[in-house]
Structure 1
Amino acid sequence: MILLCAEGLQSKEVAERLGVHEHTVGKWRRRFVKDRIEGLTDEYRPGRPRTVMDAQVAEVIERTLNNTPKDATHWSIRGMAAETGLSHTTIRRIWNAFGLQPHRSETFKLSTDPLFVDKVQDIVGLYMAPPNRAIVLCVDEKSQIQALDREQPVLPMVPGVAEPRTHTYIRHGTTSLFAALDVATGAVIGKCYKRHRATEFLDFLKEIDRRVSAGLDVHIVMDNYATHKTPKIKAWLARRPHWHVHVTPTSASWINQIERWFAELTRKQLQRGVHRSTTELEADINRFIEAHNEKPKPYKWVKSADEILASVKRFCQRTQKTLCGEL
């Protein structure tokens, strides 16, 4: 506007050329004449005065991180609002701005295995670069699976209403599932037993031996549970030099891929299943395995051993800093 006016154009002509009102051009011309370049900047707009001061924000953060309420283990939004005299919406904004979530907690457990690094490198290397003419199997047992029936019949789901079921149940015994996941194909070998002793585990190893093609080396990934290392198990494995055992670190079940499949079994079949006997339960488990093996899909392991170890190192360093800060 000012540049066009400087060329000698009238306010009306400038307004028509720029598509603004003539009064707008006049306003900016007057401001430029009065204050020159400074007159073309926006004027200060104070807006509504602050009602929450920095000291109050700091107090909320300090209380959230270092104190707990008298009647609870963690702060709620309304509890903090009542304690500080601020509104619950203000507390919410402060917590969101600083990433505070007192209502949430996360669990962790670090392995204390002295060979943790070596075992992680061994097993992850097996996943990401399996040996030739070999099969890699993740083996474990899901013990004490309960056959649960509801005290009253489960009602059908209808539009707008979730499936109604009683929260109380009747136990009809337990079964234990031994399973082996083929890392390359995603197929599962599974067998249910009444108990989960070394005897049952040895029988399951023989079941695997019968199903694996001859001429292949067998690499099994399993934990160091007592039933996996009895003299009979060790003697049976020693007579089969083409079998190779890879033991997971203690407190590191996440590295065994069969645990991921067990989670699927629980979510899809067991969590909401209704079974009036262990026979029904085992039949449903076997059907689930058969359905899974019709179109098996392997889990894709994407983290290298170095990335996993680096992540564990960062967590340890972060935890150490936090503890040192508290001390």
Structure 2
Amino acid sequence: MARAAAPALPMSDGQRETLEVLARSRTAPHREVQRARALLLAGDGMANTAIAAQVGATVKTVRAWRERFVGEGLVKFAQVKEGRGRKATIPQAKIEEIVDLTLHSKPAGETHWSCRTMAAKTGVSSSQVQRIWSARGLKPHLVDTFKLSNDPQFETKLVDVVGCT
């Protein structure tokens, strides 16, 4: 049973111009460039199967892009629909545990947490610990305290070096 070819996708001159700019872009995300090319071909009246083959997508995806364009235009073009994309693999409670341990404790016999020691303590990978710390600006290896020398002649040496009395 052959499906009827989809009609040419109606679009305004402004929409076509925006899609042409996106389709030529070398800096836009690949998925946006791919979708823009597919919509332009659909606007020219090309069949969904030919569009899918040319842009490297499935026919189902091309149909979904067409339907979304008819319903929303370019308003939400760059937004990924809710529920799509990579899902969180680490629970929020584990993230909070890592942050709390980083801020309020030290590993036994060490001065600060490293990615590996935190990973071993919490049961996640060291790269996940690094991503959590980076996202929150945590740098446990940097010392934020001032240490005063316990040298008995520290004051005399300080005056000699600085020259203040």
Q: TM-score, normalised by structure 1?
A: 0.27
Larger RCO (CA within 8 A; separation ≥ 6): 1
Q: TM-score, normalised by structure 2?
A: 0.48
